[in-house]
C-alpha cells in the first residue's frame, strides 16, 4: 500500500531543521530573505547537505569518515537526484526538496548534475594537480551551488553575468573551507592543495601536516585565502542585480564566510589548532553591516566588467 507524499510544508520544515543543524552561518543569512526565497533556499540546502553527507559518511557536515563504498553511494545519490529532476516523488525528504525547488524555479538540470559530478571527483579520490584543477573542483562542489541559489533568488538562468558573480561567491566559500579544513581532510586521506603548490613548497609526500612544515603550509593557506578574497570581491559586484533582501543575505554570508578565510590566514601556523568559526555576535555584526551595504550597493559596487584574470565557470 502506497503512502501519500509528504506535504510541501513538511518537507520545508525538515529542510529548515537541516540548515539549522548543518550551518549556523547559512541559517542566519537565510533569515534575511523574503519567505518564498527563504523556504526555497532551505530546500536547496537540504538536498546539497544530504548529498554531501551521503558521499562523505557525515551527519549534517560533522564527523567525516573514511568511505569504503564511494561508488555505491554516488550511484544512489545520483539516481535519487535524477528522480527528483524528473518530478518524481523520491520518498527521501532532501531529494523531494530538490524536486520542489526545481519545479518552482527555472532551475537548469545541468546545475544539479554538475554538483553530483563534484561528488564523483571525491568518489574517485581525485586530487588537483594545478590551481586550475582546484578551481574546477570548487566549481563542482560550491560554485554551481551559488548559481543555483541565484536562480532561487529569482535571477534569470540565462543571465550569465549575474550567475558568474554568484558562482564567484561559492568559489570564495569553498576556498575558505579548504584552507580551514586542511587538517580534517588529512585525517581521512584527502588533500585539496594542488600538487604543483606542494612541490613548489618542497613538501615530502604526504607530510604537509607535520609540525616541521607548518610555516610552509601557512603560506599556502594564506594564498588560498587571498584567492578566496578575490572571488568574494567579484561576487559583491553582482549584488546590484539582486533585490534588497537577497543582496542583504548574500552580503551577510560573504562577510561571515570571508571572516573564516581571513582568520585562517591570520592564525598562520596555528590555523588548525582549533576549528575556525564565527561567534553569534560576529554573525550579528556582519548582518548589520550587510544591511548598510545592501542599501548602498549601487554606489558601493558600481557595475563593471568582471576581472578577466579570475577563473570562469563552464557554460552550457
pLDDT of residue 206: 84
Give the percent of the chain with pLDDT over 90. 77
Please determine, for residue 99, whether its predicted confidence score (pLDDT) is greater than 70.
yes
pLDDT of residue 1: 40
35 vs 56, more confident? 35
Identify the three-state secondary structure at position 39: helix
Measured CA to CA, the distance from residue 103 to residue 111 in angstroms comes to 14
Please determine, for residue 63, whether its predicted confidence score (pLDDT) is greater than 80.
no
Please determine, for residue 130, whether its predicted confidence score (pLDDT) is greater than 90.
yes
pLDDT of residue 65: 65
Please determine, for residue 48, whether its predicted confidence score (pLDDT) is greater than 90.
yes
Give the percent of the chain with pLDDT over 70. 95
Please determine, for residue 122, whether its predicted confidence score (pLDDT) is greater than 90.
no
pLDDT of residue 26: 86
Please determine, for residue 9, whether its predicted confidence score (pLDDT) is greater than 70.
yes
Whether 240 and 177 have beta carbons less than 8 Å apart is answered as no
pLDDT of residue 4: 66
Rg of the chain in Å (alpha carbons) = 19
- Can you tell me the mean pLDDT for 284-301? 96
In the chain, CATH 1.10.600.10 covers: 127-316
Among 91, 112, 113, residue whose Cα is nearest residue 101: 112
Q: Which CATH number describes the domain made up of 127-316?
A: 1.10.600.10
pLDDT of residue 28: 87
79 vs 273, more confident? 79
* Burial grade of 315 (CB within 10 A; 0-12, 13-18, 19 or more): exposed
Distances in Å between the alpha carbon of 129 and those of 122, 126, 190, 195?
14, 9, 13, 5
C-alpha cell belonging to residue 288: 548589520
Among 70, 47, 50, 45, residue whose Cα is nearest residue 60: 50
Residues 6+ apart with CB under 8 A from 20: 27
Please determine, for residue 61, whether its predicted confidence score (pLDDT) is greater than 60.
no
Please determine, for residue 67, whether its predicted confidence score (pLDDT) is greater than 90.
no
In 3-state terms the chain splits into helix, strand, coil percentages (rounded to 5) of 70, 0, 30
pLDDT digits (tens, 9 = 90+) for 134-158: 999 999 999 999 999 999 999 999 9
- Can you tell me the mean pLDDT for 95-106? 96
Identify the three-state secondary structure at position 62: strand
pLDDT of residue 173: 95
Confidence of residue 229 (pLDDT cuts 50, 70, 90): very high
Amino acid at each position: 500500500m502506497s503512502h501519500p507524499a509528504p506535504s510541501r510544508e513538511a518537507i520545508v520544515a525538515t529542510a529548515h531543521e537541516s540548515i539549522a543543524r548543518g550551518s549556523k552561518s547559512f541559517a542566519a543569512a537565510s533569515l534575511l530573505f523574503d519567505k518564498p526565497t527563504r523556504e526555497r533556499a532551505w530546500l536547496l540546502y537540504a538536498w546539497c547537505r544530504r548529498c554531501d553527507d551521503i558521499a562523505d559518511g557525515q551527519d549534517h557536515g560533522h564527523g567525516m569518515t573514511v568511505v569504503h563504498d564511494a561508488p555505491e553511494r554516488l550511484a544512489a545519490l545520483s539516481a535519487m537526484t535524477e528522480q527528483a529532476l524528473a518530478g518524481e516523488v523520491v520518498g527521501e525528504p532532501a531529494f523531494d526538496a530538490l524536486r520542489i525547488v526545481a519545479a518552482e524555479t527555472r532551475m537548469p538540470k545541468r546545475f544539479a548534475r554538475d554538483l553530483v559530478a563534484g561528488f564523483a571527483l571525491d568518489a574517485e579520490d581525485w586530487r588537483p594537480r594545478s590551481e586550475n584543477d582546484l578551481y574546477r573542483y570548487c566549481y563542482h562542489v560550491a560554485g554551481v551551488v551559488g548559481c543555483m541559489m541565484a536562480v532561487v533568488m529569482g535571477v534569470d538562468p540565462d543571465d550569465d553575468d549575474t550567475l558568474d558573480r554568484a558562482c564567484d561567491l561559492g568559489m570564495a566559500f569553498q576556498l575558505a573551507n579548504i584552507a580551514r579544513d586542511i587538517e580534517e581532510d588529512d585525517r581521512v586521506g584527502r588533500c585539496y592543495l594542488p600538487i604543483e603548490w606542494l612541490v613548489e613548497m618542497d613538501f615530502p609526500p604526504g607530510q604537509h601536516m607535520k609540525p616541521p612544515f607548518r610555516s610552509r603550509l601557512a603560506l599556502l593557506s594564506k594564498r588560498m585565502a587571498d584567492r578566496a578574497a578575490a572571488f568574494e570581491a567579484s561576487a559583491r559586484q553582482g549584488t546590484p542585480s539582486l533585490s534588497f533582501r537577497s543582496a542583504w543575505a548574500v552580503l551577510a554570508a560573504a562577510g561571515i564566510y570571508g571572516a573564516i578565510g581571513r582568520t585562517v590566514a591570520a592564525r598562520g601556523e596555528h590555523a588548525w589548532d582549533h576549528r575556525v568559526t564565527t561567534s553569534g555576535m560576529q554573525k550579528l555584526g556582519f548582518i548589520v553591516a550587510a544591511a548598510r551595504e545592501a542599501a548602498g550597493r549601487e554606489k558601493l559596487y558600481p557595475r563593471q566588467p568582471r576581472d578577466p584574470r579570475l577563473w570562469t565557470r563552464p557554460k552550457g
